[in-house]
Amino acid sequence: MHTVTYLQAINEALREEMDRDERVFIMGEDVGWNLLGATGGLKDRFGTERVRNTPIAEAGFVGAGAGAAMVGMRPVVDMLIAPFVYPAFDQIVSIIAKSTYLYGGQAKMPIVLRAPMLYGAGNAAQHSDRPYPTFMTIPGLKLIAPASPYDAKGMLKAAIRDDDPVICFEDWTLTGLRNEIPDEDYVIELGKAAVKREGSDITIVALAGAVPHALAAGEQLAGEGISAEVIDLRSIVPLDRDTILASVEKTGRLVVADPAHIMGSVASEISAIVAQEGFWSLRAPIIRVATPHTHIPFSATLERPLYPTTEKIVNAAKRAMA
């Protein structure tokens, strides 16, 4: 075992997969320079062909990733910051998500897009999106959002080995986290949520940066005599409805914490699934703790209160228990 940060975990995943499989390569703006801290050392180890700096042309290089994947490469495309996927949106939706289907299985699309989410940092509306709900509406993509160094490494490795397109939403509010992780190769199957804390009174499903808050809330609730089961969703598509439904069957109550805007959120989708499939277990309203349907302002005074916090999750849980 050794201890790594979230970014080191990503770096290890990239390095190990590039060592293992020479078809794996990285491209994106300034990936060779380790601008954001996850690609350090890779250019020196693998060279500028496999750690390829691109022009600022997201549609072009994301689409080029798709073409390379179609002919047998396994690109990992670094989007630098999640909202920079938007200029490439058509390539992601029309080409990457649809080609396998459109050509009746002739095209494989083993491509990973890394989409670091930098919110809460005073970068304002154009730079602070957490756009996984936007992509949840697009069939053909797999979406993951690891919330710990351990998961970041294991899930990114699994994504790189998957034959389908995966967008890895990395939550950079978590870059301070450190985990012990195995020294040996490991992968985490996509599509499996993790029960992080067992409980019997209420289920809290959280994802991405909301997970530490949910865990803290579980802790705090325990102190007040409420036994919360905390589930880290980890994977958005496929969505592990079985784990969630089983938990709600046990607890009868559900809070979902999601750092994205509430409208069309993953929290809403989970609510809808449980309101349809788990209705008879429910003993209280399903409460979503998400970011309100407004843009992210620059001012820290304005920005800070918008996201899910431990306190908001605790309050929601108490309301559900009332």
Partner 1 sequence: MAITVSETDMLEMYRRMTRIRQFEETTQALLLKGELYGSFHTSSGQEASIVGSCMALRTDDYMVGTHRSHGHPIGKGAKIDRLLAELMGKETGINQGKGGSMHLSDFGVGSLGETSIVGSGLPVATGAALGSKMQGNDRVTLCFFGDGASSQGTFHESLNMASLWNLPVIYVCENNGFGELTPTHEAVSVPDIASRAAGYGMPGIVVDGQDVLAVYEVVSEAVRRARAGEGPTLVETKTFRFDNHSIGMPVETPGHAEMLVHWRGNRCPIDLFDRALKEFGCDEVTLREIDAQVADEVSAAVEFGRTSPEPPPEAAFTHLYTNPIRIDS
Ligand X SMILES: Cc1ncc(C[n+]2csc(CCOP(=O)(O)OP(=O)(O)O)c2C)c(N)n1
φ and ψ of 222, to 5 deg: -55, -40
In this chain, which of 28, 63, 83, 209 binds a second copy, going by CB under 8 A?
83
Binding status of residue 56 toward ligand X by CB under 6 A: yes
Q: Does 102 bind a second copy (CB under 8 A)?
A: yes
In 3-state terms the chain splits into helix, strand, coil percentages (rounded to 5) of: 45, 20, 35
CA distances from residue 311 to 51, 148, 213, 289 in whole angstroms, order as listed:
42, 21, 8, 10
Comparison of 222 and 321: residue with beta carbon closer to a second copy = 321
Q: Is 139 helix (H, G, I), strand (E, B) or coil?
A: coil
Binding mask 156-195 for a second copy (x = CB under 8 A): ----------------------------------------
Residue from 14, 80, 92, 159 binding ligand X (CB under 6 A): 80
Q: From the CA atom positions of the chain, what is the Rg in Å?
A: 19
Q: Is 119 a residue that touches ligand X (CB under 6 A)? A: no
Q: Which residue has the tokens 């809070």?
A: 255
- By CB under 6 A, tell whether 285 contacts ligand X: no
Interface of this chain with a second copy, residues 122 to 141, rule: CB under 8 A? 124-126, 129, 131, 133-134, 136-140
List phi, psi (to 5°) of 65.
-60, -40
Indicate the Cα dihedral angle 234, 252, 269, 112, nearest 10°: 10
Write the CB contacts of 19 (distance below 8 Å, at least 6 apart in sequence): none
Sheet holding 287-291, edge to edge: 194-197, 228-232, 202-206, 254-261, 287-291
Single residue of 3, 44, 45, 103 touching partner 1 by CB under 8 A:
103
Task: Scan residues 126-155 and list those touching partner 1 (CB under 8 A).
Answer: 126-127, 139-140, 142
Number of residues that bind ligand X (CB under 6 A): 6
* Interface ranges with a second copy (CB under 8 A): 59, 83, 86-87, 89-90, 93-94, 97-98, 101-102, 124-126, 129, 131, 133-134, 136-140, 237, 239, 260-261, 263-269, 271-277, 279-280, 282, 284-288, 293-295, 297
